[in-house]
Amino acid sequence: MTDAREVRTACPYCGVGCGVQARVAADGTATVRGDPGHPANAGKLCSKGSALGETLGLDGRVLHPEIAGRGTSWDAALDLVASRFSETIARHGADAVAFYVSGQLLTEDYYVANKLMKGFIGSANIDTNSRLCMASSVAGHKRAFGEDIVPGVYEDLEQADLVVLVGSNTAWCHPILYQRLLAARAERGTRIVVVDPRRTATAGECDLHLQLRPGTDVALFNGLLAHLVGSSAIDRDYVAAHTSGFEAAVSLACADAPTPRRVAETCDLDSAEVSRFYDWFAATARTVTVYSQGVNQSAHGTDKVNAILNCHLATGRIGRPGMGPFSVTGQPNAMGGREVGGLANQLAAHMGFDDPQAPDRVGRFWRTAGVARKPGLKAVDMFEAAGDGRIKALWVMGTNPAVSMPDAGKVRAALKACEFVVVSDVTRTDTSQFADVLLPAAAWGEKDGTVTNSERLITRQKSFLPMPGDVRPDWWIVTEVARRMGFAEAFDYANPAAIFREHAALSAFENDGARLFDIGGLADIEDSTYDALAPLHWPFPRGASAGSQRLLGDGRFPTVDGRGRFVAVRQEGAALPVDAAFPLVLNTGRLRDQWHTMTRTGRVPRLMANAPEPAVELNPVDAAALGIADGDLVRIESRYGGGRAKVAASAGQRRGEAFLPMHWSGRFAANAAAGALSAPVTDPFSGQPELKHVPVRIAREPVAWAGVLMTRRDIRPTGFVHWSRAAVAGGWVYELSGTEPPEQGILLARRLVDVVPADQLLEYTDRRSSTFRAAATDAAGRLGEALLVAPQGHLPERDWLLSLLASAEPLSPLDRRALLSGRAPVPVPSVGRIVCSCFNVGVNQLAAAISGGSKSLDEIGTALKAGTNCGSCRSEIRTMLEASRLLAAE
């Protein structure tokens, strides 16, 4: 195609920050592929990134501003937001308002939101979903390094001889970085140790899996420090010249975790395995320790971070090739948010409230006397305040707290109670239903700005699609409100480049080297250079010719005395221990192909296919003890809320522990949200909630009937004990189940097709077997609806009906006649649950290939292409291969 345009941009999902090339055809449709020139991914994309082109449709989008649910003009909406915020501030003070923002925002959006709240409204009540994500790493970095610095770069994982992955399911959550690690391992034999209470896809491929008792990481790393002291691995010169606090940290560590045996007891591990890990760590200079939410999302997250950093400080393994601690960021712009100061306890540009000079310095730069002087409310406290009336006006931008916050039921109540709630989002969400004013934001592909990934690499995100309807970029929305609040002069930007220049200038302002975050070299960047900006590491101070790669490698730290600080930490007990009433530990986290609350990935059939229903993983022994079989529906209850999900019995789960994905919102399931169960208990230093550990009880639901509705319509069923839905080609499939007698289930389910005129609906009820089938064609003569209801365990196969839904052609007479039987006129082989979502390869096909003689990943790849694109499914295929090998050996 001659007139196709290609735009280089960045993936809007995880913190790996892959480069993407979007190709827009003459007819406006876009396809995406990896950018071979981008340093993070060199052209590769994972399953989610590869499917980006399928998320660009306008289904579910918010396209016009709304006040109280009714469409309105931008002027009316912006005037109302500005006047309600101004009035609230005038009447109740600046601390009566708040912003809750997100790492999905671009740096420029984030910068103006932070400037408005902290500089001009004069409160620090702006916090971000990064509080749920990176806050403990930020706090740990500040305690040890004096500043929120990630010292390493991705290359370090390739140059290391030992990589320790702590609380990180890297294979699924940072897939391209993980693929880089595996490629390097194939060449240099890198050892990989995984520290995770679950046997994850990542753990399935490592050299040593320490499947520790949840929450005991401090003991593990304290034990490591104690072990290092007795080995030759301590870099005494480095410790003496560049650090402080060594003795205190060591003596507490030795008291806390003196021997591998004691560590093994605390962590419920095998002491020989603990020793093996310690020996490897001691003997391997080139060691990188990667950590993520198993560390951060904890009531002791900051201490976990410092326990890890202590071991790297003690060995001098920081900021040098192939070595260092590495906190991997979650969201595409978690790092950018930290740069602008989007957290309530940061000010701006890596300046914090702990420096008494900082507010005046920022005030001089912003030309305002009104800069906030004290930290604001952190996320959990912010919603608490919105619920009890202290916060009277709240603006939520780019995040879905009704789903993702802990104690989400209470957060919903707070959103309801709060006098004035503004939501800026690209789609309708569980949160947007509480909005007094709903503002349509521009989405990925429509907006322009920058993001920073886990290794401090700044990449341009660029628009390649027109903005549909009335949508506007977040920076524009914020500056328009600021103008209307009387701050026109300070928010007069022509474009994102102008905001970026100011952000860069602030990072360099009165910065004598005290803050490493300095991108002053970009303060005068011209619009055209900004538009074409190639990925660049920070720092990039004035006069620099290239961004710095590694930091802190010279042993100088941005602390008052220039030394890195050991922090003496001790293993604490669980913040919320299990008891007789709530005897199981619930852990929550991510799936391979879903992104957060599923607002985008949930609409892509091939991303729904690997895990189409919300399922709670439970050890088979626990399941059996509770009388639960694989696939049963269960009720899960914590002291905060309840939910329902199917059980997936999994030997990868420790006894006494369960795992529920965090993704299912009320738009995708009746009641399967992890947030409703999670506890609002927070880390004392970072304010980050404990999202990985809440006591629950699980009981089997006496399900009597099951149903499945296949339809082209996007609906939200009500009145069912349980339902969930998945996007499929041509529409949606709704799984239904209930505890009522099947006859009643039929009546309930039948309401879902009430919209179909009775004379077009073919229905069949078999009273003896309590089964029901209904089907209807749409105006185009295609299958429009199919509904099957049967007693539990008796639902017929649906592959054929799904294939009809996927078809764009009108039904053939043969198909039409077969409709009510629910069975294909000609048998359709089922591919089974999809494992490889790039090439739509299902378990049945893989099983057939394996029994047909395919013995390795490569052979499977040749036969079916499975696993040959993004690689995300390779661990699952490897597990299948191993299982067949074990069977053969029996």
Ligand X SMILES: Nc1nc2c(c(=O)[nH]1)N[C@H]1C(S)=C(S)[C@@H](COP(=O)(O)OP(=O)(O)OC[C@H]3O[C@@H](n4cnc5c(=O)[nH]c(N)nc54)[C@H](O)[C@@H]3O)O[C@H]1N2
The footprint of ligand SF4 (CB under 6 A) covers 11, 13-14, 16-18, 41, 45-46, 48-49, 175-176
Q: Token pair 């003689």 is at which residue?
A: 853
Query: What six digits make up the tokens of 849?
Result: 């290939």
540 burial type by CB count under 10 A (0-12 exposed, 13-18 middle, 19+ buried):
buried
Question: Hey, what are 325's tokens?
Answer: 């601690």
Residue 172 found at the interface with ligand X (CB under 6 A): yes
Longest pairwise C-alpha distance within the chain: 86
Distance CA 773, CA 852 (A): 37
No. of helices (H) and no. of strands (E), the chain: 31, 36
Which partner, ligand X, Mo ion, ligand SF4, none, binds residue 667 by CB below 5 to 8 Å per kind? none
Pick 287 or 511: Cβ nearer ligand X: 287
Distance (Å) of CA 823 to CA 114, 752, 801: 58, 22, 8
Asked if the peptide bond before residue 539 counts as cis, ω within 30 degrees of 0, the response is yes
The least distance separating ligand X from the CB of residue 596, rounded to whole angstroms, comes to 3
SS3 (DSSP) at 827: coil
Judged by CB under 6 A, which of 243, 427, 463, 619 binds ligand X? 427
Residues sharing a CB contact under 8 Å with residue 686, sequence separation 6 or more, in sequence order: 131, 135, 136, 138, 139, 140, 296, 301, 302
Residue closer to ligand X by CB (options 19, 707) is: 19
Q: Which amino acid is at 817?
A: R
Q: Residue 123: which residues within 8 A CB-CB, separation 6 or more?
A: 94, 95, 97, 98, 117, 372, 376
- Between residues 104 and 211, which has the closer beta carbon with respect to ligand SF4? 104
The minimum distance between CB 250 and ligand SF4, in angstroms, equals 38
* Among Mo ion, ligand X, ligand SF4, none, residue 587 binds (CB under 5-8 Å by kind): ligand X
Q: Which is nearer to ligand SF4, 45 or 662 (CB)?
A: 45
Query: By C-beta, is 133 or 379 nearer to Mo ion?
Result: 133
Closest separation in Å from C-beta 333 to ligand SF4: 11
Q: Does 289 bind ligand X (CB under 6 A)?
A: no
Query: Considering CB distances under 5 to 8 angstroms, the limit depending on partner class, which of ligand SF4, ligand X, Mo ion, none binds residue 18?
Result: ligand SF4
Closest among 725, 754, 753, 719 to 738, alpha carbons compared: 719
Closer CB to ligand SF4, residue 11 or residue 485? Answer: 11
How far is it, in rounded angstroms, from Cα 264 to Cα 279? 15
Q: For residue 607, which of 627, 626, 592, 588 has the smallest C-alpha distance?
A: 592
Q: Report the residue number, 795 or 835, with the smaller CB distance to ligand X.
A: 835
49 binds, among ligand X, ligand SF4, Mo ion, none (CB under 5 to 8 A by kind): ligand SF4
Site string for ligand X, 674-713 (x = CB under 6 A): xx--x------------xx---------------------
657-676: contacts with ligand X (CB under 6 A): 662, 674-675
> Residue 177 and residue 168: Cα distance in Å, rounded?
12
Is residue 496 close enough to count as binding ligand X by CB under 6 A? no
| Sole residue written with tokens 């190639």 | 534
Q: Which is nearer to ligand X, 14 or 239 (CB)?
A: 14
Shortest distance in whole angstroms from residue 74 CB to ligand X? 15
The answer to whether 290 contacts ligand X (rule: CB under 6 A) is no
Interface of this chain with Mo ion, residues 105 to 144, rule: CB under 5 A: 133
Please report whether residue 215 would count as binding Mo ion according to CB under 5 A. Answer: no
Site string for ligand X, 236-275 (x = CB under 6 A): ----------------------------------------
Concatenate the DSSP letters of all residues of 545-574 into one string.
Answer: SS---S-STTS--SSTTS-EE---------
Residue 429 φ/ψ, nearest 5 degrees: -140, 175
- Please report how close the Cβ of residue 889 comes to ligand X at its closest, in angstroms: 29
Question: Distance of CA 86 to CAs 163, 327, 492, Å?
Answer: 52, 39, 19
CA angle (786, 735, 835) in 5-degree steps: 105
Q: Is residue 293 near ligand X by the rule CB under 6 A?
A: yes
Contact 442/472 with Cβ under 8 angstroms? Answer: yes
Asked whether position 869 contacts ligand X by CB under 6 A, the answer is no
| 102 near ligand X (CB under 6 A) | yes
Question: Whose CB is nearest to ligand SF4?
Answer: 49
Residue 873 contact among ligand X, ligand SF4, Mo ion, none, beta carbon within 5 to 8 Å by kind: none
Helices (H), 367-407: 379-388, 401-404
From residue 315 to residue 354, the character string flagging contacts with Mo ion as x (rule: CB under 5 A) and all else as - is: ---------------x------------------------
According to the binding rule CB under 5 A, does residue 745 interact with Mo ion? Answer: no
Amino acid residing at 296:
N
User: How big is the site for ligand X, counted in residues (CB under 6 A)?
Assistant: 57
**What is the pattern of x (binds ligand X, CB under 6 A) and - over residues 595-614?**
xxx-x---------------
Structure tokens of 344?
């309530």
Please give the distance of CA 197 from its chain centroid, rounded to a whole number: 19
Task: Pick what 427 binds: ligand SF4, Mo ion, ligand X, none; C-beta below 5 to 8 Å, kind-dependent.
Answer: ligand X
Minimum CB distance to ligand SF4, residue 48 (Å)? 4
CB of 217 to ligand SF4, least distance (A): 25
Question: What does 515-541 look like in DSSP terms, one character per residue?
Answer: -S---GGGTT--HHHHHTPPPEESP--
Q: Considering the complex, state which of residue 49 and residue 784 has its C-beta at the smaller distance from Mo ion.
A: 49
| From the list Mo ion, ligand X, ligand SF4, none, partner contacted by residue 864 (C-beta under 5 to 8 A by kind) | none
Residue 149 CA, chain-centre distance (Å), reads 21
The binding site for ligand X (CB under 6 A) comprises 14, 102, 104, 129, 132-133, 166-169, 172-173, 195-198, 200, 214-215, 217, 292-294, 297, 330-331, 397-400, 403-404, 424-427, 429, 441, 443, 447, 474, 587-590, 592, 594-597, 599, 662, 674-675, 678, 691-692
The binding site for Mo ion (CB under 5 A) comprises 133, 330
